[in-house]
Amino acid sequence: VVHSAGGIDVTADATFTTAVPAPTASSGSATLLSSTRVRLAGSVNPNGGATSYWFEYGTSTAYGQQTSSASAGPGGGAVGVQAELTGLSHETTYHYRLVAQGAGGTSFGADRQFTTPGSLPLVVTDEAAFLTSSGALLQGSLNPNGETTSYWFEYGTTTSYGLATLVTSAGSGLIQVTVGAQLSGLSPETTYHFRLVAQSSGGTSVGADREFTTRIAPPSASTGTATAVTSSGALLAGTVN
């Protein structure tokens, strides 16, 4: 619109469209899955536009590697995202950040870092065997992954355990080995929880919880004294529980 002493001049109508805002990205936590695997987490707000995301990672803030691009959708609120890294080096510090990209631009989450441990032992808790009213054989298997490794079983009547077998060496091999421990002095008709634990310079690995129930206690018999003994008979006595 132009206004002057000569009058008012109005131009033709025109339109414009506001730009789509850039998505926002927030780098979250890193969860160690093993000595060479990590799960990265974060959140992305697409701010109403179709958005893709990925994680950049590497041994410095130059990163150099990234996960595959994935969709975070076109929503208007923050959504949780994650990606798994594999083939990492032991005892290495990595940097990472979340990246989100949409029509409105690209956003970068803050730099974060994690350090992989040494080679953690791999642990599997197996079923208990040879159950009696007072004993059981706990079983499992583990792979020391090349590190000097020791193991033990935790056990008890709850998942708080509270008791443990003796610490035993599992060597430092690179293959899965079977291990076990014999329990005695248990209560009859009682459910016990147990799990295998292995420890090396790379850290401590804990197997899944399992349980077993001891058997009913067998009856007990005690031979007593023979009485009323004659040349052709006697009264035998004893007790049975």
Q: Measured between alpha carbons, how far is 132 from 153 in angstroms, rounded to an integer? A: 18
Q: Measured between alpha carbons, how far is 174 from 142 in angstroms, rounded to an integer? A: 10
Which residues, at least 6 apart from 233, have a Cβ–Cβ distance to it below 8 Å? none
Residue 8 has which token pair?
A: 């008012």
179-233 pLDDT per residue, tens: 999 999 999 999 999 999 999 988 899 999 999 999 998 777 888 898 888 888 8
Q: Measured between alpha carbons, how far is 144 from 126 in angstroms, rounded to an integer? A: 17
32-86 pLDDT per residue, tens: 877 788 999 999 999 999 999 999 999 999 999 999 999 999 999 999 999 999 9
The residue type found at 116 is T
Chain centroid to CA 7:
78
Q: How far apart are the first and last CA of the chain?
A: 109
